[in-house]
């Protein structure tokens, strides 16, 4: 049964903003530094939701704990920081959804695994930060999604009850975190979606094809 929702929390990359061009660009720039050809954008885009781990993993076939991974990750983040807003944009339809949430008196905020200083730069540059009630980054608490703590911290700062919150995200970890926090969960079908389980198997309370679908789910005009 759908509970009354008074606050909506959003993931950032792949949910509110399309940052794939800049993240993929940084990955290919790093590959060029190592003498490798660029990978197709279509191959890199699905992994954007996994952040630096996903980008470095796909670009170099390494994972945390492997030799050289930490150096590659650090260089990737340095390259990305130089191009945060070159091509990153707010997804079509997002502004009108946020306008309507605010018009109806619902609070909203952002919870991302992106490092807070990078998330802050992106959201400030795109005009989201000044309107969001809260911004929680991947290093704002001792845990990252799929742990529920970042979402619970957002609720504490907003003085919101998790049971009256919905979390919207484009990655399985978003849905896992939202469910663990006791929130309603909505899968953003316009996002990056990863390369694991298909979106309809994530266990979300609803699947949204477009941002405007959130308004219909909330029964807002």
Q: Please identify every residue annotated as catalytic.
A: 11
Crossing angle for the helix pair 20-33 and 69-81, nearest 10 degrees? 130
| 167 DSSP assignment | E
Closest by Cα among 94, 103, 159 to 127: 94
| 91 DSSP assignment | P
**Ordered strands of the 135-136 beta sheet:** 135-136, 107-111, 7-10, 165-169, 184-188, 206-208
Place of tokens 């000044």: 130
**Tokens representing 45?**
């885009």
* Rg (alpha carbons) of the chain, rounded to whole number: 17
Strands 184-188 and 89-90: unpaired
Strands 17-18 and 89-90: antiparallel
**Tokens representing 209?**
């094809």
């Amino acid at each position: 049964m759908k509970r009354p929702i008074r606050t909506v929390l959003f993931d950032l990359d792949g949910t509110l903003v399309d940052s794939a061009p800049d993240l993929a660009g940084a990955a290919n720039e790093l590959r060029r530094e190592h003498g490798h050809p660029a990978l197709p954008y279509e191959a890199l885009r699905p992994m954007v939701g996994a952040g630096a781990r996903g980008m470095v993993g796909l670009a170099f076939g390494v994972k945390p704990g492997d030799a050289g991974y930490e150096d590659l990750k650090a260089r990737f983040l340095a390259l990305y920081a130089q191009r945060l807003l070159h091509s990153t944009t707010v997804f079509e339809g997002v502004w009108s959804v946020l306008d309507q949430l605010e018009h109806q008196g619902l609070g909203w905020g952002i919870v991302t695994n992106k490092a807070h200083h990078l998330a802050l730069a992106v959201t400030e540059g795109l005009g989201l930060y000044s309107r969001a009630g809260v911004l929680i980054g991947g290093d704002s608490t001792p845990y990252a999604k799929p742990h529920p703590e970042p979402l619970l911290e957002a609720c504490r700062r907003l003085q919101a009850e998790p049971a009256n919150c919905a979390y919207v995200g484009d990655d399985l970890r978003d849905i896992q975190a939202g469910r663990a926090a006791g929130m309603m969960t909505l899968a953003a079908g316009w996002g990056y979606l990863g390369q694991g389980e298909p979106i309809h198997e994530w266990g979300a309370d609803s699947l949204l094809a477009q941002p405007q679908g959130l308004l219909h789910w909330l029964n807002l005009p």
